[in-house]
Structure 1
Amino acid sequence: MSSSLHADEPFAGVLSPADPSAALSSPTNRFAPFVSMEFTSLKALQFPVARIKKIMKSDEDVSMISGEVPVLFSKACELFILDMTQQAYQHTLHCKRRTLQL
């Protein structure tokens, strides 16, 4: 743990949901604020749960899937894409580019 964080301030480095764009300014604060904002609304998913369940069932080792698992996978995919997009944006800013290349 860093010496700048104190036990009485566990969320000192986390940004408020009122200013999500400021999370892009620091790599350490890039992901955590969006996670806390996103889990307030698990009902509004960006990916279809039925399609995720169908993809999961395409594996022959999977026989039964709990109802919560596709919802969590949907939210995990959403957060992963959000993080990758933010990293790509940071890369374009750092390299002073408008497009990304592999």
Structure 2
Amino acid sequence: MFQLKWSAAEKKIARSAYDAALHAALNKVMTEFKQKAQAAASPSEMWDLQNYLGDRRWEISSIFIYSYSKLPLVFAWSLRNGCLEEKALAGLSDDKLKVIRSMAKD
């Protein structure tokens, strides 16, 4: 996908940002799940929760792939969805930040 070179320092920043974004994404799903479960009033609404969780699991597992070639996409999605603040990416090179910011706007 992206053929960017990652320094050792950038790899540490990327790991920390990735872990924070994944944690935030999972917490967001957990919060939404609890709200939906609390509001469920019928068996069909209960089963709808299963579909919701399956969709979120697929989304997260398809986005959060720790591969340096895919990290710009992971970070862009995380920024766009409120799972990461740009300051967590401080220290990455300007070329990486440019790619991430560009995709986060789409």
Same topology, TM > 0.5: no
Q: TM-score range by the shorter chain?
A: 0.3 to 0.5
Structure having greater relative contact order (Cα 8 Å, sep ≥ 6): 2
Bigger Cα Rg: 1
More helix by share: 2
TM-score by length of structure 2 reads 0.34
* TM-score in terms of structure 1 length: 0.35
